[in-house]
Amino acid sequence: MASMNMIQAINSALDVTMGRDPDIVVFGEDVGYFGGVFRCTAGLQKKYGKTRVFDTPIAEGGIVGTAIGMGAYGLRPVIEIQFADYIYPAFDQLVSEAARLRYRSGGGFHAPLTVRAPCGGGIFGGQTHSQSPEAIFTHVCGLKTVMPSTPYDAKGLLIAAIEDDDPVIFLEPKRIYNGPFDGHHERPLTPWAKHPAGEVPEDYYRIELGQASIVRPGAQLTVLAYGTMVHVCLAAAEEAGVDAEVIDLRSLVPLDLDTIARSVQKTGRCVIAHEASRTGGFGAELMAQVQEACFWHLEAPIERVTGWDTPYPHAFEWTYFPGPARVAKAMKNVVEA
Amino acid sequence: MTSSAHEPGAALRLHVPEPKARPGEVPDFSGMSVPPAGTLARPPIDADEPALREYPYALIRVLDDAQRAVGPWAPALTPERLRAGLRHMMLTRAFDDRMLRVQRQGKTSFYMKSTGEEAVAVAQAYALDDGDMLFPSYRQQGLLIARDWPLVDLMCQIFSNPGDRLKGRQLPVMYSVPEKNFFSISGNLGTQFPQAVGWAMASAIKGDTRIAASWVGDGTTAEGDVHYALTFAAVYQAPVLLNVVNNQWAISSFQGFAGGERTTFAARAIGYGVPGLRVDGNDFLAVYAVTQWAAERARRNYGPTLIELVTYRAAAHSTSDDPSAYRPQDEAARWPLGDPVERLKQHLIGLGAWSEAQHEALARELEEHVKAQLREAEALGTLGTPPAGVESLFEDVFKDMPPHLQRQLAELKGA
Ligand SMILES: Cc1ncc(C[n+]2csc(CCOP(=O)(O)OP(=O)(O)O)c2C)c(N)n1
Ligand SMILES: [Mg+2]
């Protein structure tokens, strides 16, 4: 075991898998010599050489398109999109190509790629360094979408994503790269070194995609969250004095509906939280599935806490961000309903 | 490469570009050819593209090693106008230096300098008309400064304070100034290039006389948008100037990762049948002359031009970047095309129209001017001072606020 922040855990996942499988290649803007603007690929080029870890032209559509071609050859590309906000030029390659290749070729071809992209706000990055576009991808049939909330999970999930034979969108909440940010931006950040999930095995391990994790067992209500919002919800439960069962989804597609339904059937109450905007957000899908699976157990309307339906602002970052106060309020509403 | 790599049946090898020097190594620009100034002809503005095919591979230069203006490209600019250009370049630099300090003091989140590239924006603004529409990237603050837009307005945007016309919505430096025909800057690279072409097409559709210009970096040329722009510009012969600012670096990636190892960025134009001009981007006079040629060509309905401005990004990519991790620290100092401010200064001194003493006095004056503007901006607040009431968060998503946003605003206010 070693103490790792999320950047180091991601780096370790890449290192461990590259060491085991010579077909894994890693590329993207600034990922080679420099090791990525967030340093997630630091040292890999030196260790595995320039033909397995390399910089690319600034062309996200080109990065994904060539990754699909390499996958068709038999390689296993792990590509980085510098910010999730810059993934849109690759949209056609992801949606029309990677996602459907297996289906349209009757299984004759597939796209075993992993697309890593830092997502989420909280760094005063304005609208082009803060987005959470997960719902755009969960809507696409044929893509898996994953978002870790701790270094331990990040490594295990990334290894599983890389080894997956289908395309996986692996979104990394950059606000928790260095510590479990709980939404209290006015307080100093606790580093991962002080968190149990900052203890990460140096060797290979997998966390299967499609398995949620109950990060805080509770009896009064179920909270569904992922990424940074897991930590915000834990803080909110504490502050609201509510015995919440907080579930970290970890993987949105495939979704661990069993764990979710078991919990909601037990508590009868549910709050859903995400940083992304509200309309058509993944919370809407979760609400629908919880309602389908748990209607007769529900004792209160389900509530959603989300970003507002506006582009991500610069100055009003903390008015936009669904912090612990808003989550706590929703928890109380649902418990008291 | 050993010859065995090229024999029949050879194992294929992947080429991955590598810059000539990395940190700790000696900067090496030996592969770069810097032809003497003044040697290239200035073709007529109605020349057909096939007659212009040497220009994408050449380098148009006006200022020689002694900073004298030589050759047919030397523009007819009065010393007064040159002094004004120098002033705007120095103001841009002083503004950048001050804003970097302000960011370091924690008064804002982010900043991007254009140090070493001031001639690009300032000389190009000078060669265009004020009515021409500009679609810049984030490194052409000099365009607004050359169009005499008040620094205090830019500073308020940088602070996201109540004086910020963008209402605190945008990352610092992502200006938008319709009054100066300066389009809203996007953080997403390259998107502005086809937009400029569309604006120019509209101007042609309406029989207007105004043209458009846009700027992308060397790295950004790889984006599909850049190629859409060139295709549309060529197909419709749009009155537009498409500028590639080749400052050698795209964050940590040298221009070889955008294809610069194989050919020039100006040469991309040939494939589209568009004239491509390659110019010494640190030579104020050459940049002015080339831009004026292309603008005149566009205005007379001879269509678009692609201009590659060869320069060097002397500062970090942004305040989030540390170039010492990927390039030699003294690379800027070894850049063969020198510094644009210094070169224009020496040119003016050579003309007898400027002196060291005047230069120093001007530098001090501009620094004071920047400080005074900063005091004015800071009086309105720095990052953290709300730019407006929270309702502004929900405004301008649409022209009229739809019911779902009204509900969300009510929820926020009730919270
Ligand atoms: C679509 C998109 N992809 C990636 C980025 C991240 N990014 C911002 S600036 C930059 C480098 C741009 O280099 P260049 O075009 O040479 O312009 P320069 O910064 O040198 O002026 C990158 C990769 C972005 N802003 N937009
Ligand atoms: Mg560049």
Across B2-30, average pLDDT: 93
> Is residue A191 predicted with pLDDT exceeding 70?
yes
> Is residue B3 predicted with pLDDT exceeding 90?
no
> Is residue B204 predicted with pLDDT exceeding 70?
yes
B14 secondary structure, DSSP code: -
| pLDDT one-digit tens code per residue, B328-359 | 999 999 999 999 999 999 999 999 999 999 99
The pLDDT mean for chain B works out to 97
Distance CA A252, CA A212 (A): 9
Type of residue found at A331: M
State the ligand closest to the CA atom of B139. 1
Task: Report the pLDDT value the prediction gives residue A78, as an integer from 0 to 100.
Answer: 99
- Judge whether B252 and B318 are in contact, CB under 8 Å: no
- Judge whether A169 and A137 are in contact, CB under 8 Å: yes
Return residues 374-393 of B near A (CB < 8 Å): 383, 386-387, 390, 392-393
With cut-offs at 50, 70 and 90, classify the pLDDT of residue B4: confident
| pLDDT one-digit tens code per residue, B284-331 | 999 999 999 999 999 999 999 999 999 999 999 999 999 999 999 999
Structure tokens at B278: 């390659």
Task: Report the pLDDT value the prediction gives residue B274, as an integer from 0 to 100.
Answer: 98
Pick the atom of ligand 1 nearest to B250's CA: 13
- Residues in a beta bridge with A145: A169, A253
Pocket flag, ligand 1, residue B2 (CB < 6 Å): no
> Is residue B241 predicted with pLDDT exceeding 90?
yes
Is A308 close to B386, i.e. CB distance below 8 A? no
Give the Å distance between the CA of A241 and the centre of ligand 1: 46
> Is residue B251 predicted with pLDDT exceeding 60?
yes
| pLDDT one-digit tens code per residue, B70-105 | 999 999 999 999 999 999 999 999 999 999 999 999
Return residues 122-141 of A near B (CB < 8 Å): 124-129
Of the residues B157, B185, B188, B265, the best mutation for testing chain A's interface (the one with the most A CB atoms within 10 Å of its CB) is B188
Type of residue found at B43: P
Task: Report the pLDDT value the prediction gives residue A176, as an integer from 0 to 100.
Answer: 98
Residue showing tokens 């307005």: B153
> Is residue B415 predicted with pLDDT exceeding 70?
no
Four-CA torsion A18, A21, A23, A24, nearest 10 degrees: -30
Query: What SS3 class is residue B412?
Result: helix
| pLDDT one-digit tens code per residue, B92-139 | 999 999 999 999 999 999 999 999 999 999 999 999 999 999 999 999
Q: In sequence order, what are the residues at sequence separation of 6 or more whose Cβ sits closer than 8 angstroms to the Cβ of residue A266?
A: A219, A222, A245
Comparing CA positions, the residue from B363, B362, B345 lying closest to residue B354 is B345
Is A308 close to B219, i.e. CB distance below 8 A? no
> Is residue B1 predicted with pLDDT exceeding 70?
no
Structure tokens at B304: 């678009």
With cut-offs at 50, 70 and 90, classify the pLDDT of residue B278: very high
Structure tokens at B312: 């060097």
Pick the atom of ligand 1 nearest to B190's CA: 1
Distance CA A305, CA A240 (A): 15
What is A162-191 written as a DSSP string? Answer: HH-SS-EEEEEEGGGSSS---S-TTSPPPP
Give the Å distance between the CA of B123 and the centre of ligand 2: 19
Across A281-293, average pLDDT: 98
Task: Report the pLDDT value the prediction gives residue B2, as an integer from 0 to 100.
Answer: 54
| pLDDT one-digit tens code per residue, A233-269 | 999 999 999 999 999 999 999 999 999 999 999 999 9
Across A220-232, average pLDDT: 98
Structure tokens at B139: 């490194």
| pLDDT one-digit tens code per residue, A3-17 | 999 999 999 999 999
Task: Report the pLDDT value the prediction gives residue B273, as an integer from 0 to 100.
Answer: 98
> Is residue B11 predicted with pLDDT exceeding 90?
yes
Share of chain A above pLDDT 70, in %: 100
Q: In sequence order, what are the residues at sequence separation of 6 or more whose Cβ sits closer than 8 angstroms to the Cβ of residue A178?
A: A5, A6, A7, A189, A191, A192
Q: Is A139 one of the catalytic residues?
A: no
- Judge whether A337 and A300 are in contact, CB under 8 Å: yes
